Amino acid sequence: MLEANGLCAGYGAIPVLYGVTLSVKSGEAVGILGHNGMGKTTLLRTLIGALPATAGTIRFNHDDVTALAPHARAKRGMAYVPQGREIFPTLSAYDNLRLGLVKTGRKPEAAIDALLEDFPRLRPLLDRAGGALSGGEQQLLALARALAGEPSMLLLDEPTEGIQPSIIEEIAETLVSLREKRDLTIVLVEQNLDFIAAVSQRVLVIRRGRIGDEIPREHLADLDKVSEYTGVHA
Amino acid sequence: MPVNANRTIPVADALSRFSRSWKSAALALAVGSIMLIVLPRVLDDFALVQATVYAVMAILALSLGFVWGFGGILCFGQSAFFGLGAYTYAIAVTNMGDSTVPFMLAIVLPAAFAAVLGYLIFYGRLSDVYMGVITLTVTLILFNLVNSTAGPEWKIGSAALGGFNGIPNIAPLNTPGNIDDVISPRGLFELSLAALLGVYFLLRVLLAFKMGRVIVASKENEQRLLLLGYDSRVYKLLTFVLGAAIAGLSGCLFANWGAFTSPTVFGLAQSAQIIIWVIVGGPGTLVGPVIGCVAIQWLTTQIGTQQTINSNLVLGAILVVFVLMVPKGIVPSLGELGMKLVGAARRTRRSADDTRNVAQDDTHSASREEAA
Amino acid sequence: MTQPLLETRKLNVRFGGVHATRDIDFTLAEAELRCVIGPNGAGKSTFFKLLTGQVKPTSGEILFRGKDITAMQPHEPARLGIGIKTQVPSLFNGLSVWDNVWLAARRVNTPMQTERVTREVLERVGLLSHRDAITGLLAHGERQWVELAVVIAADPPLILLDEPAAGMSDAEVARTADLILEINRRHALVVVEHDMSFIRRIAKKVTVLHQGAIIREDTPERIMSDPFIQQIYLGKKPH
């Protein structure tokens, strides 16, 4: 479903990705682990097109999307939940969700109702302005909004940040069931080992702008082992 | 703390570092000093008079460049302070004869006016939008006020305000204490350019120390500044008042230049022009507004000599083009171009030397160098 | 009985139809380290904003070392000695890391001292190598550390940290915990977090907020074995 080859990207004169090669099958959930500054957010932003690739290619569903603008990639079924949520603060939670629906052309009431089945915690918050929600509530809203567009692939940048432990469990369950129900492909950047282990089938490491080894599942629970993969600290 | 030093650290590019260092200030002052010495010797009186108004308006441009580009205060009313400076000088010198006190008043009065206005805006915690609207309105009010003072009953002391006719025959600056020793055109040019360099130097020094750094931080993130215990209102007020004082100085020199002042100094067109100078020249720099001002003034003069195109139309077009295509303004864009050329020259030199494959670590250090 | 560093009495705030803070009576001693936990939307960040003066309460009082700070201007609680790392890092993004910390230190130090203090704080947090980095271009977790450095630099007796471990790998979280314990030797801290292993590492006392009110204050172990708290907040997995 997703194939990145030799992807390079950066900010101005500062390169961050040095030739990322990544392959994700349809319906697969891949987790990406890595320290700060290794390029996790940069990778996702390059995949969705918010950051231009300076070299390399991205293929989505066999089409070359490297030069496409983000909205074109979104139309083809890519969805992105950024770190920092990026909720529209002056719009109500309901309107935020409606915006997510726009490209599907579906009627909002029915579609949002169905969406809220997976996100019941958002029901009492629908009328509140996005900016008035707490950080964790905004995170849930951002996730729901991305799913509202019925994407075939979800790019998640630290979706558990700021979320209370019980809801983290719920989100993990929701993502796993969505993947199975809708054959959703997931690329997940996370720091929470339990979450990434629960949701992903494969966990890769990003290190100094390159995708490195896969961490075997049995090592995920061992902090020291994981540190070896992600890199020894300076 | 495990911070990964093995990756490329995103530092400011060389151009930013240069423009913040004392080197760029020294360069600007050197260039200015050379012009101060050379130009009066090579230019005839007519050209010198042209150059004088460029310098005078450049001071005005600097005032907004500082207040807006560094302080983040979009003041639509710099021309209000400019006009107050011009009128204060004109009225005071007509009444007093000797120009020393009028000169000082021309700087102090706009500053005092700004202090009151600024207090109401900043301590009333009005939002940025209101700053723009209120300053614009003040300019309009002053224009209309002064414009309607045409009758002979409108006078301050012995100075008639003249309404839309303005105040003619303004006595020029004289050496303090000696009324008959008035300034010559060459002297006015030297004074104006020296004042421009002086203001530039003052602002550079200010920006290098605590007050300047706090002002810049206030524009970046006022909330964080407050959370660090700084009263942002005080700093914004000081910025606003200083900007007004500089504009007042410019107004005083302008009144000297034309020996005349009229309500157009308060006009909307004047206010808009200052903003265009700053945008075109490069907000966020001090040299930018100066260059922008001179370039546009020169262009306007050239266009004014022919009748086919309306100069305002051209100005508007320039503004649109710059905002869309050269958003950083002339000076930063030229600077970036220069850096690119230097970088390209360096790269061709380096690849000619390096024939072996660059190892991973070398890539990192090379890219960090490039970022530096 | 010594005077508490921080005390709130019947603190209430309502906005947009939400009773975000209900009758909060909160007390903190000098150099105490307290963790505040609670479900999303419980009012944790709002509570912090009340303490720093960013939000004004509808009723109630806030006392800092006995002084009523409830009605103060936004910059005054900071001057008295309250520093905060906000949930979403609030920094001078266009400025370098050094400049950010410098500004924080400069208010309470002479120019010469400021240079020294800035360097020391950056070394302590491990960011000296990043001193020239443009803050807005750093990774999220790195910016958390920059903000930590900024807060420490002004040396306030009370430091509020809103989710200091967010966006960090487990190893980085461990180091942050160590840093917090070290800071706690001379400063009081109130830390909002969701990472229970992190909390257990640093806190002796935890305050639980739920729907704007304090429902429980106890040791981490007892809080985590409370079935109600497990239901509304902790979830099924052991922490």
Distance from CA of A49 to the nearest CA of C (A): 18
pLDDT for res C157: 95
pLDDT for res B1: 46
Distance from CA of A223 to the nearest CA of C (A): 7
Are B7 and A37 within 8 A, CB to CB?
Answer: yes
- ipTM, two decimals: 0.93
Domain span holding position B65: 30-268
Global pTM reads 0.85
In order, the DSSP letters of B144-198 are HHHHT--STT-EETTEE--GGG-B-SPPPPB-TT-TT-BPPHHHHHHHHHHHHHH
Are A164 and C139 within 8 A, CB to CB?
Answer: no
Q: Is residue B138 part of a domain?
A: yes
Is residue B28 scored above 80 in pLDDT?
yes
pLDDT for res C84: 95
Instruction: Give the nearest partner residue to A234 out of B3, B364, B371, using CB atoms.
Output: B3
pLDDT for res B323: 87
Q: Is residue C88 part of a domain?
A: no
What does pLDDT average to over chain A?
85
Distance from CA of A35 to the nearest CA of B (A): 8
pLDDT for res B3: 52
Number of domain units in chain C: 1
Distance from CA of A42 to the nearest CA of B (A): 13
Q: Is residue C229 part of a domain?
A: yes
To test the contact with chain B by mutation, choose from A17, A208, A226 the residue with the greatest count of B C-beta atoms within 10 A, namely A208
Is residue A139 scored above 90 in pLDDT?
no
Distance from CA of A43 to the nearest CA of B (A): 15
pLDDT for res B284: 85
To test the contact with chain B by mutation, choose from A8, A16, A233 the residue with the greatest count of B C-beta atoms within 10 A, namely A233
Search chain C and give the residue with CA nearest B209.
C111
Are C87 and A162 within 8 A, CB to CB?
Answer: yes
What does pLDDT average to over chain B?
86
A203, A31 contact by CB (below 8 A): yes
Q: List chain A residues with CB under 8 Å of C42.
A: 134
Is residue A12 scored above 80 in pLDDT?
no
Q: How confident is the model at residue B351 (pLDDT cuts 50, 70, 90)?
A: low
Q: Is residue B297 part of a domain?
A: no
Chains that touch C (3 or more CB pairs under 8 A): A, B
What is the distance between the alpha carbons of residues A64 and B34, in angstroms, rounded to a whole number?
Answer: 58
pLDDT for res C83: 95
pLDDT for res B358: 44
Q: Is residue B347 part of a domain?
A: no
Listed range (A30-39, B113-122, C199-208, C210-219) with the worst mean pLDDT: A30-39
Is residue A31 scored above 50 in pLDDT?
yes
- Cite the DSSP H helix spans in chain A: 40-48, 70-75, 93-101, 108-118, 135-148, 165-182, 193-199, 223-230
Is residue A140 scored above 70 in pLDDT?
yes
Instruction: Give the nearest partner residue to C87 out of A34, A135, A163, using CB atoms.
Output: A135
Q: Is residue C153 part of a domain?
A: no
Q: Is residue B255 part of a domain?
A: yes
Between A100 and C28, whose confidence is greater? Answer: C28
Q: List chain B residues with CB under 8 Å of C69.
A: none
Between A102 and B52, whose confidence is greater? Answer: B52
Which pLDDT tens digit goes with each residue over B257-297? Answer: 998 999 988 888 888 889 999 999 988 899 999 999 999 99
Percent of chain B with pLDDT over 90: 48
Q: Is residue B316 part of a domain?
A: no
Q: How confident is the model at residue B21 (pLDDT cuts 50, 70, 90)?
A: confident
What is the distance between the alpha carbons of residues B203 and B288, in angstroms, rounded to a whole number?
Answer: 14
Distance from CA of C231 to the nearest CA of B (A): 35
Q: How confident is the model at residue C123 (pLDDT cuts 50, 70, 90)?
A: very high
Search chain A and give the residue with CA nearest C173.
A191
Are C92 and B221 within 8 A, CB to CB?
Answer: yes
pLDDT for res B4: 52
Number of domain units in chain B: 1
Is some CB atom of chain A closer than 8 A to the CB atom of B339? no
Is some CB atom of chain A closer than 8 A to the CB atom of B355? no
Between B205 and B149, whose confidence is greater? Answer: B205
The 10 Å Cβ neighbour count of residue A161 is: 24
Provide the pairing of β-strand B155-156 with B159-160.
antiparallel
pLDDT for res B6: 56
pLDDT for res B362: 43
Q: Is residue B57 part of a domain?
A: yes
pLDDT for res C1: 62
Secondary structure (3-state) at B269: helix
Is some CB atom of chain C closer than 8 A to the CB atom of A230? yes
Average pLDDT, integer, range C169-183: 88
Domain span holding position C65: 1-81+190-239
C88, C104 contact by CB (below 8 A): no
Q: List chain C residues with CB under 8 Å of A167.
A: 39-40, 235
pLDDT for res C238: 66
Percent of chain A with pLDDT over 90: 15
Instruction: Give the nearest partner residue to B226 out of C74, C106, C132, using CB atoms.
Output: C74
**Residue C3's CATH number:** 3.40.50.300
